[in-house]
Amino acid sequence: MQVTRRGLLKFAGASAAGILFSPLPWKLLDDIAIWTQTGPWIPKVPRGPLTTAFSTCALCPGGCAVEARCAGGIPYAMRAAVRHTAGRGALCPVGMTGHHLAYHPLRLSGASVIRRTSDQVETDSLSTQEAFDRILGALNTRPLATGVAVIDQRPGRTLSGQFRAFLAQQSPGYYIVPDDDRLRMHEAFSNACGKDGLSLGFDIERTATLLTIGTPVFDGWTRPARTAALLDRRHDARNPLKLIHADPRRTRTSVLADQWLPIAPGSETALVLGLTNIVMRDHPSLAARYVADLHTSDRRGMLDVLSLFTPGIVAKRTGIPVDTLEKVGSALAHRKPSMVIAGGDAAGPIDRDTHQAVAALNILLGSYGTPGGLLHRDELPMPATKMAAISTIGDVPDGSISLLIIDGEEMTCSTCWESIESKLSPDGHLVVSTSPFLTQLSAHADIVLPSPAPYETAAEVVGDPTDTVVSLSISTPLLPRKQGSVEPIELLNHLSGESVAMQELLKQRIALVHARGRGMIAGYQDGSGHRLSEFASADEIWSAFIEGAVWTSPPLHETPAHSYTLLGHSPNIVDRWAARAEGEPNGNGADGQVILLPTASSDAASCGRISPLMTKIYQESEVRPTRAHLVLHPDTGRRCGVDDGDQAVVQTESGSRHVTIRFSASLMPGVAQLSIGPDPNVSGKKSEFAGSDVFRNTLSRSPMAGVTAIVRRA
Amino acid sequence: MRTVTTARSRYGMVIDLDRCTGCGSCTVACSVENNIPPGTENVTERTGITWMRVYEADDGKSFPDTHSVFVPIMCQQCGNETPCMSVCPQNAVEVDPATGIVGQIPERCLGCRYCMAACPYHARYFNWWDPKWPAGMEAAMNPDVAPRMRGVVEKCNFCQSRLHTARERAASTGRTAIDPADYVPACVEACPQRAITFGDLDDSDSFVAALAAGDRAFRFLSRIGTEPKVWYLSSREWVRNLSDRVVARTRKENVRG
Amino acid sequence: MDERFIPRGVQRAPFWRFMAWIIPWFGVLLWGLYGASLCLYEGLNQTNMDNRFAFGLWIYLDLTVIAFGAGAFFTGFLLYIMKRRELQPVINTAVVLGLICYSSAIMVLMVDVGQPLRAWFTFWHPNTHSMLTEVTFCLTCYIVVLIIEYAPLVLKNRQFRNIPRFLVFEFELHKLMPVFAAIGAFLSFFHQGSLGGLYGVLRGRPFAFREELGIWPTTFFLFVLSAMAAGPSFVLVITRLVERLSAKRLVRQNVFATLGKISGMLLTIYLGLKSVDTLVWINGTSPSAGFPAFEYYQRASFGTWILFAEIVPFGLVPALMLLNAKVRNHTPLLVTAALLVLAGVTLNRFVLTIQTLSLPTLTFDPFLTYVPSWQEVATFAAVIAYGVLLYSISFRYLPLFPQEREIARIER
């Protein structure tokens, strides 16, 4: 057969036409379509059998019950265990992403030596054994008269008891806890009733009038289920809650409170004393009942101070009209039960004198020891004996620490480095951190022995400290423990030459709880409650905990003390209170001067590490303030010469920060709000630790007093 | 597996603004559920992806008289002349007649963003970046939802993957209709304040239908006539007045979102 | 150097001067291509567009150049279908301008979409209800028509004319031109309209949403009319600009006057209809959607002046000027009027693209602004450079202006 050109062309043409009737070109088109829809760079979703597991969120002491949805045994989503009554099916956004922390970009892979340059933090790895030896060396060869200290950011755990037992054998050994509002409140009440070792919880579920002084009740101050209960109480038909929030800052709590008292920065003491004055003056019966009957030793002295805080003076100092003050005072006195809560903000504690005034007002209102007020908690027993005393960083003499261990800072960092620095021995010191991530404090350590991330180990959760109900549960491990992580107990074993397992210690504590016989255990799967007596041993309780359960114990019914000292035992408190009647004026924006107020969300991670996904509520929407946004009233901003959206610099005595200006007419004129809270966009970069910041040593001042700052256009 | 033919339903949502505390749990739960990647370094509130987003709105008054409210906004699932669906040149937006859910097919999306211009609720989000998770965090992705790629538009679809799961469960137990308890979007499940109610608006026995018919209920921009299936509740008049500009026009502008 | 490529009987600048003109534009083109390639490689995060400003500079550019490019279809329509012979001298330049405008619009669109590789999905899964589908279909077909219309012009190059086959082909194409002009007019009518419809159908944006006439929103017709008014003006302005730059007469004065008259007449019709449309929108459409129209004009930079400017100085004034024969015969005034027409259309497209998106819809939305990034500006500049280059090369090597040789001979 002869092949002609024409024939060839015909054949080609017919083939082309024919092929259109085959699936080939259409499949090809579809394949091209699919090819444009995928790419090797798009992450692949995990595969494996889908299961659920129960655990307890250990990110904050709140201890919410979680149900983890897992693929191939690895959790991919967390939700509240809905049937569980104690957790009441609520999780905060941080808790919802707790399983992400194991993958945090700043996670340390093993024992590390930290090197700080002026603007960078570098890590060099070393073996765990080497790290142990260096720490042991520092312990054994420490200079005379210098001591060992442990900063425990999460006191009350079994591990805390072990630290205290270890420190009791050192001379000197300092056990340091955060100098926070809870500690200060207990101090104030101890002063007032002459009783030590108090543990109080707030019975907000039954309060009718609640005055919060800067307490971020809607910003993660307590676990979300209690916040929901608080909201329910506002719609209660019989005795609805009235929430009055005093704070110079416009926060979510200010927005959601029934009444916001925008007090002038630093005037919280004056407000409390002014309200005390109104209550004493208008309701002598109340004063007589709670003060005269209870044999208060110092009513006269108190009245003398209060005479300085007349409604007129307080109105001038706080900027709250006399009329409003009178109404708030009246609500506190009449709408019972009433209670005043001060502080509890992640931005730092308020000062001791204010706490003393708040304690006095609470005693006067009869809220101490009565339902709807402050109740005694049935505190957990501690397995350790002979423990070092509890102190705060301020109690430690300067230059006296040569070995410092910082534990539990990964989620909270309520002790700032500036307050620690001066306590270290000038003749050499070693700072050890157990944080799984680089954080503000671990970045200042010499050695970091990273502890396991959340859900990588059976962690103890001691329960919401603001609650009247005490609880205990174990965070069931859901993730494989990362190679190179070190449990803090291993370090302690190495230093003390013992070999105790954390699990055994936890079981010892559970055995003590079991022996006391009080409280109930509720399972997460079905929400069923069981008496403690239904469990034969600590091991059984442990198993229940691992499957997802919590032990809770209601508040104790202790009779209130019969004698109070409203003025406390603090020397010169009368003079210091009296000085609060006059105050500094607000910054008025002239010359760019403002009062800079720190804000922070107090939930599971007040300023620690949070999931990278939290950009959704920080950068990608305006739900939470980032560290890069300075919020001002438009009038204040214009006086500072900045406009909405401008790039600006805010400068205080201690440092400066580049910010973007954001105007909000709902803010108090003369102030500016700046977040110190976590910022998923800043964290993850080592430059985060560079330089000094505008809020150096926030502990020394109430976050509601703020600092003077200058704002200028960048 | 046998497929379940569900009876026609019209899924909708009711959000109680008097209960919303603006905590952001819904936003985060939504992102976890739907494999929305963490924002990149220079992401902003204008370029991020938040299918469910909480805005803060106020009554326009100045300090100290300002009243504010938190408003979670997601795709309002317009039921009439769905603006995004009619404009999409390549049928990448579909309204499921069986559920009323406005679905986005990212695999077909060209990325022209015409639907974003069409949406009055700004509920559509564009992937300005390649989706990226920190190393290892892919293990924490939802196996039921495919991640999207750069250059396509995405939005809330009432957690449609959960509807599929619910249907599979119904089929495996031999039922023809799904159990309403099996199909709850992630935001509804996550809200600690129980502010969000979800269900079939056509089912007169459903809680959601009763709430939507109540005196406190309103919808945003209802006058443009797109019949959204997301209702909001508030006892406060000024909050209800945020629904339309005509009623809220006396207020000054002073909001963030 | 390149004399053998230059059409016979016309004077062109020396080659070095041509290069000196070309090279800077070529530089701009390269810069723009770099910006565009960044957008394609890194993604659209290189632009300053965002979820609210989903459209930006590029869509604005597309709408504007396509309106300007309307000169091609409209001139063709008038010449081949309406037999307005006096437009013969500018038909070639109109075709080149049309090709430049449309091809650049398509190129920019390909950078603008997030997944350019999926552009063909519109043909694969078309949504027949979408204005954008109509635009895509018509645009794709019309660019083919424009290439076919441009082809005989290329074949008229001196060197191509030496090839007999090309000569025959060109002759055959010429005979078909009325057919292509008709197809072009038909396609253009629809996509110019659909581009307007693009915004008119946005129920969710009451600033842009308009009542329907038949199945189309009123912006459909307003866009067709305004594009038909802008097209001749654009041909006029560019031709005059080329005359100034090349320092020679290319067409006779009466051609300019005709273009101006057509532009003026259409602009007048457009203005009348736009005024009616605006009144209906202010008093009916917008308020019934819950949006009091005066609110749109309360924003800092977008006051009522913008509406006034669109209708009076950039509408009524040039319309009256162009309807006046004296003005039409006075070149500087004629060009000024044409420029005002173009400014009006540019402003109209800006209002629909940028102002629509910047205005809030939800009551708690902020008013937003947008400034394009350098990558967007560079891509924009590349389009202009591409246009200048293609036009300059066409002008130098192709007989764009049939009257040029004649005028040159007379002047000599």
**Cα gap C94→C251, rounded to integer Å:** 13
Nearest to A347 by CA among A710, A697, A711, A712: A697
For the residues A666-675, what does the mean pLDDT come to? 92
Helix (H, G, I), strand (E, B) or coil at A378: coil
Residue B5 lies in a domain: no
**Cα gap B190→B180, rounded to integer Å:** 17
Give the HSE-up count for residue A67: Cα atoms under 13 Å, Cβ half-sphere. 20
Nearest to A460 by CA among A383, A360, A376, A555: A383
Percentage of chain C beyond pLDDT 90 is 61
Q: Which residue has the tokens 């959607």?
A: C289
Chain B residue with CA closest to C125: the answer is: B90
The answer to whether the bond into A337 is cis (omega within 30° of 0) is yes
Nearest to B165 by CA among A69, A91, A46, A34: A69
Please give the structure tokens belonging to residue A637: 């901003």
B128 closest CB neighbour out of C44, C136, C206 = C44
**Greater pLDDT, A486 or A193:** A486
Q: Per-residue pLDDT tens for A584-640?
A: 555 555 678 899 998 887 765 555 788 999 999 998 998 888 888 999 999 999 999
Measured in angstroms, the CA of B31 and the nearest CA of chain C are apart by 17
**Cα gap A522→A530, rounded to integer Å:** 6
For the residues A696-712, what does the mean pLDDT come to? 79
User: Which stretch of A225-234, A242-251, A384-393, B243-252 has the lowest confidence by average pLDDT?
Assistant: B243-252
Helix (H, G, I), strand (E, B) or coil at A38: coil
**Greater pLDDT, C171 or A319:** A319
User: Cβ contact (<8 Å) for A36 and C117?
Assistant: yes
Count of CB pairs separated by less than 8 Å, B with C? 190
Nearest to A505 by CA among A495, A492, A518: A492
Mean pLDDT of chain B: 90
Per the structure, the complete domain to which residue B229 belongs is given by: 11-248
Q: What is the pLDDT of residue B256?
A: 39
Q: Beta strand A707-713 with A647-651: parallel, antiparallel or unpaired? A: antiparallel
Give the HSE-up count for residue C207: Cα atoms under 13 Å, Cβ half-sphere. 25
Please give the structure tokens belonging to residue B244: 């339309």
What burial class does residue B204 get, using C-beta atoms within 10 Å of its C-beta: 0-12 exposed, 13-18 middle, 19+ buried? exposed
Enumerate the residues of chain C whose CB falls inside 8 A of the CB of residue A33. 118, 121, 124
Count CB atoms within 10 A of the CB of residue C283. Answer: 11
Mean pLDDT of chain C: 90
Q: Dihedral sign, CA of C35, C36, C40, C41?
A: negative
Q: Residue A696 in contact with residue A611, Cβ under 8 Å?
A: no
What burial class does residue C126 get, using C-beta atoms within 10 Å of its C-beta: 0-12 exposed, 13-18 middle, 19+ buried? middle
Q: Residue C230 in contact with residue B108, Cβ under 8 Å?
A: no
Q: Per-residue pLDDT tens for A487-518?
A: 999 999 999 888 899 999 999 999 999 999 99
Q: What is the pLDDT of residue B29?
A: 96
**Cα gap A78→A96, rounded to integer Å:** 5
Enumerate the residues of chain B whose CB falls inside 8 A of the CB of residue C115. 109-111, 149, 151-152
C114 closest CB neighbour out of B55, B91, B152 = B152
Q: Dihedral sign, CA of A261, A266, A267, A269?
A: positive
pLDDT at B1 exceeding the cut of 50: no
Q: What is the pLDDT of residue A585?
A: 52
Chain A residue with CA closest to C120: the answer is: A33
**Cα gap B110→B92, rounded to integer Å:** 8
User: Cβ contact (<8 Å) for C361 and B122?
Assistant: yes
Q: What is the pLDDT of residue B100?
A: 93
Measured in angstroms, the CA of B210 and the nearest CA of chain A are apart by 19
For the residues A316-339, what does the mean pLDDT come to? 94
Residue B55 lies in a domain: yes
Helix (H, G, I), strand (E, B) or coil at A420: helix
For the residues B15-33, what does the mean pLDDT come to? 95
User: Cβ contact (<8 Å) for C363 and B110?
Assistant: no
Q: In this structure, what CATH number is given to the domain that contains residue B120?
A: 3.30.70.20
User: Cβ contact (<8 Å) for A224 and B64?
Assistant: no
Helix (H, G, I), strand (E, B) or coil at A385: coil
Q: Dihedral sign, CA of C166, C172, C178, C180?
A: negative
Nearest to C354 by CA among C62, C66, C114: C62
Question: At what angle are helices A158-168 and A488-496 packed, to 10 degrees?
Answer: 20
**Residue from C130, C215, C216, C296 whose CB has the most chain B CBs within 10 Å, to mutate:** C130
Q: What is the pLDDT of residue A87?
A: 54
**Cα gap A695→A693, rounded to integer Å:** 5
Chain A residue with CA closest to C369: the answer is: A645
Phi-psi region of A72 (alpha: psi -120 to 50; beta: other; left: phi over 0): left
Q: Per-residue pLDDT tens for A546-571?
A: 999 999 998 988 776 667 888 877 77
Give the confidence band of C23 by pLDDT, cuts at 50, 70, 90.
Answer: very high
Residue B83 lies in a domain: yes
Q: Which chains touch A (3 or more CB pairs under 8 A)?
A: B, C
> Which helix (H) or strand (E) segment is C272 a member of?
helix C253-280
The answer to whether the bond into A172 is cis (omega within 30° of 0) is yes
For the residues B202-208, what does the mean pLDDT come to? 90
**Residue from B19, B26, B31, B133 whose CB has the most chain A CBs within 10 Å, to mutate:** B31
Q: Residue C292 in contact with residue B245, Cβ under 8 Å?
A: yes
Enumerate the residues of chain C whose CB falls inside 8 A of the CB of residue B105. none
User: Cβ contact (<8 Å) for A228 and B193?
Assistant: yes
User: Cβ contact (<8 Å) for B122 and C205?
Assistant: no
User: Cβ contact (<8 Å) for B87 and C362?
Assistant: no
Q: Which residues of A549-569 are buried (b: 16+ CB within 10 A; e: fewer)?
A: bbbbbebeeeebbeebbbbbe
Enumerate the residues of chain C whose CB falls inside 8 A of the CB of residue A42. none
Please give the structure tokens belonging to residue C94: 């109109």
Count CB atoms within 10 A of the CB of residue A581. Answer: 19
Residue B257 lies in a domain: no
User: Cβ contact (<8 Å) for C366 and B256?
Assistant: yes
Determine the straight-line distance between the first and last CA of chain A, rounded to whole angstroms. Answer: 86
pLDDT at B155 exceeding the cut of 90: yes
Q: What is the DSSP string of A641-671?
A: T--TT-EEEEE-SS-EEEEEEEE-TTSPTTE
User: Cβ contact (<8 Å) for B47 and C45?
Assistant: yes
Q: What is the 8-class DSSP label of residue A100?
A: G
**Highest averaged pLDDT of the listed ranges A110-119, A599-608, A618-627, B164-173:** B164-173
Chain B residue with CA closest to A260: the answer is: B64
Residue B4 lies in a domain: no
**How many domains in chain B?**
1
Greatest CA separation found in chain A?
129
Which residue(s) pair with A54 in the sheet? Answer: A67
**Cα gap B169→B175, rounded to integer Å:** 9
Give the confidence band of C5 by pLDDT, cuts at 50, 70, 90.
Answer: confident
Mean pLDDT of chain A: 87
Q: What is the pLDDT of residue A545?
A: 94
Q: Dihedral sign, CA of A584, A589, A593, A594?
A: positive
Q: What is the pLDDT of residue A236?
A: 82
Enumerate the residues of chain C whose CB falls inside 8 A of the CB of residue B89. 122, 126-127, 130, 132-133, 136
Q: Residue B78 in contact with residue B227, Cβ under 8 Å?
A: yes
Please give the structure tokens belonging to residue A654: 């201690």
Q: Dihedral sign, CA of A256, A257, A258, A262?
A: negative
User: Cβ contact (<8 Å) for A33 and C115?
Assistant: no
Q: What is the pLDDT of residue A443?
A: 85
**Cα gap B221→B217, rounded to integer Å:** 13
Q: What is the pLDDT of residue C351?
A: 93
Enumerate the residues of chain B whose CB falls inside 8 A of the CB of residue C52. 46, 122
Q: What is the pLDDT of residue C207?
A: 93
Domain boundaries, chain C: 3-411
**Cα gap C252→A186, rounded to integer Å:** 98
pLDDT at A412 exceeding the cut of 80: no
Q: Residue A594 in contact with residue A711, Cβ under 8 Å?
A: yes
Q: Per-residue pLDDT tens for C97-112?
A: 999 999 999 999 999 9
Measured in angstroms, the CA of A286 and the nearest CA of chain B are apart by 32
Helix (H, G, I), strand (E, B) or coil at A709: strand
Q: Which chains touch B (3 or more CB pairs under 8 A)?
A: A, C
Q: Per-residue pLDDT tens for C342-376?
A: 999 999 999 999 999 999 999 998 888 899 999 99
Q: Which chains touch C (3 or more CB pairs under 8 A)?
A: A, B
**Greater pLDDT, A172 or B248:** A172
